[in-house]
């Protein structure tokens, strides 16, 4: 089940709220969340709901063993983390590894038919963070398996994040306080996220798909339009899901941390990654980069650490070598920025700093979007004018030229301008009413688009 479906909006959510608020007892409300979350997942993944149940039981039990058998803590942690990684690897990377070996050694190996369970990367990483935090003494293990299950399987963040660590909501699992004000604020956030996805991300996605599906032999202008559209699509798609998850969590009394902080306004690649998918980048920082030694090692070892972390970051996003290339591309940029580029960038005007970062992530999304290695060079060539500038009628023939206003909407929406304006306007009762009317209009418009079939699945579902 997805957030952008009429079944979810008009059947699942009302039924969930009714069942949830029917009980006053915290334990019963957590049980309701666990049950509806498993039903939410089983709607589209009935075969693999058992994997989540196994993950809940396994990680709950291992966490308890970590505090009961202190002499074996390291071994227990290794087994627990290893089991999670193996489970993720089997379902997500078996086909990738066999295919890579087959192409490299020409073994003619049969391709395995393993279906990727939706959301497995997210709930696996949350389970790993829980075990490591228990091991480090950052959290006390949850003794109630149903409460732990409500955390790990919570439908609001189950499919595509954000990666919510247990310690971030440890207190709220047992003692959160729901109220009307928080519920309404969560509804506002959910509605805006729905609008970002259905109205902006899907519009940009339709433009990107039409242009980028033509092949890399278009002119520079169509190529840049296509990848600019994809740049906006991926931001609004990813951040919209986080907005909706944060909003849903707030309706139930949970306060998830922000996951996107307007990354496209960054003036350095480092700043970009501090603003983009914060829960994921902080996970890799805290559970891989720092344990490897971080930047408190020799320069050569640090370069290796960066390559390992960013190679894994790329591979996490998909079982294809283009994602590894994308990760290493950013690892190289960040290394160059730390070693010498930042000093040079600080001496140039801000507009040039920002322009450099914009070009960096647009080219980065090219590696992310184009999975066929044989086409990456062609698209890079198209963007620098190898096939000429291209004719405007190319865009008109693809039926995208008339959607130019959406690029303005996306450009403005990817900055904090509108958000800051709404905050100022809402300081007065009349302004608050106007903002709520605007939010309601976005919600209605989005629902109408969904009813007409004008939406697509979230991109992150593939991860």
3-state SS of 56-72 is HHHHHHHHHHHHHCHHH
Residue of 185, 196, 181, 186 lying closest to 442 (CA atoms): 196
Q: How far is CA 99 from the centre of its chain?
A: 26
Separation of alpha carbons 454 and 206, rounded Å: 10
Buried b (16+ CB within 10 A) or exposed e, 391-400: eeebbeebeb
Measured between alpha carbons, how far is 62 from 135 in angstroms, rounded to an integer?
A: 10
SS3 string of 267-335? CCHHHHHHHCCHHHHHHHHHHHHCCCCCCCCCHHHHHHHHHHHHHHHHHHHCCCHHHHHHHHHHHHHHH
3-state secondary structure of 421: helix
State the DSSP H helix or E strand holding residue 408, giving kind and residue range, or none if neither: helix 404-413
What is the rounded CA–CA span in Å between residue 161 and residue 163? 5
Q: Are 192 and 439 in contact (CB under 8 A)?
A: yes
String of DSSP letters for 359-384: HHHHHHHHHHH---HHHHHHHHHHHT
Active site residues: 317
Measured CA to CA, the distance from residue 32 to residue 1 in angstroms comes to 17
CB 49 within 8 A of CB 42: yes
Pick from 143, 186, 140, 160: nearest CA to 20:
186
Through-space distance between the first and last CA atoms of the chain, rounded to whole angstroms: 16
**Number of helices and strands in the chain (H, E):** 23, 0
**How far is Cα of residue 383 from the mean position of the Cα atoms in its chain?**
27
């Amino acid at each position: 089940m997805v957030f952008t479906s009429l079944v979810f909006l008009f059947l699942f959510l009302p039924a969930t709220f009714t069942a949830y608020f029917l009980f006053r007892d915290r334990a019963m409300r957590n049980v309701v969340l666990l049950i509806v979350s498993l039903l939410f997942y089983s709607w589209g993944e009935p075969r693999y709901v058992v994997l989540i149940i196994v993950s809940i039981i396994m990680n709950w039990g291992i966490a308890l063993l970590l505090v009961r058998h202190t002499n074996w803590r390291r071994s227990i942690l290794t087994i627990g983390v290893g089991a999670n990684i193996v489970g993720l690897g089997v379902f997500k990377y078996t086909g990738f590894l066999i295919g890579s070996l087959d192409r490299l050694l020409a073994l003619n190996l049969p391709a395995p038919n393993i279906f990727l369970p939706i959301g497995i990367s997210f709930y696996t990483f949350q389970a790993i963070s829980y075990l490591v935090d228990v091991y480090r003494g950052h959290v006390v293990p949850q003794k109630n398996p149903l409460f732990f299950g409500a955390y790990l399987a919570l439908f609001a963040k189950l499919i595509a994040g954000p990666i919510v660590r247990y310690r971030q909501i440890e207190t709220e699992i047992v003692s959160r306080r729901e109220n009307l004000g928080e519920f309404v604020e969560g509804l506002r956030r959910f509605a805006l996220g729905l609008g970002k996805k259905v109205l902006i991300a899907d519009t940009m996605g339709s433009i990107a798909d039409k242009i980028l599906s033509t092949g890399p032999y278009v002119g520079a202008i169509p190529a840049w339009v296509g990848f600019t559209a994809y740049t906006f699509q991926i931001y609004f798609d990813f951040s919209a899901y986080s907005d909706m998850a944060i909003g849903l969590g707030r309706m139930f009394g949970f306060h998830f941390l922000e996951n996107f902080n307007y990354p496209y306004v960054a003036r350095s690649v480092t700043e970009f990654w501090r603003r983009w998918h914060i829960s994921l980048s902080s996970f890799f920082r805290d559970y891989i980069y720092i344990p490897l030694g971080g930047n408190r090692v020799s320069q050569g070892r640090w370069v290796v650490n960066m390559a390992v972390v960013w190679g894994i970051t790329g591979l996490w996003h998909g079982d294809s070598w283009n994602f590894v290339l994308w990760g290493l591309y950013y690892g190289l940029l960040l290394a160059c920025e730390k070693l010498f580029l930042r000093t040079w960038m600080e001496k140039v005007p801000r507009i040039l700093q920002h322009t450099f970062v914009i070009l960096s992530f647009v080219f980065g999304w090219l590696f992310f979007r184009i999975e066929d290695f044989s086409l990456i060079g062609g698209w890079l060539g198209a963007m620098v004018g190898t096939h000429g500038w291209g004719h405007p009628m190319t865009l008109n023939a693809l039926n995208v030229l008339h959607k130019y206003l959406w690029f303005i909407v996306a450009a403005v929406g990817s900055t904090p301008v509108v958000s800051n304006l709404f905050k100022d306007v809402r300081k007065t009762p009349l302004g608050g009413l106007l903002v709520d009317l605007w939010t309601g209009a976005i919600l209605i418009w989005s629902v109408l688009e969904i009813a007409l079939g004008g939406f697509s699945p979230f991109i992150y579902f593939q991860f």
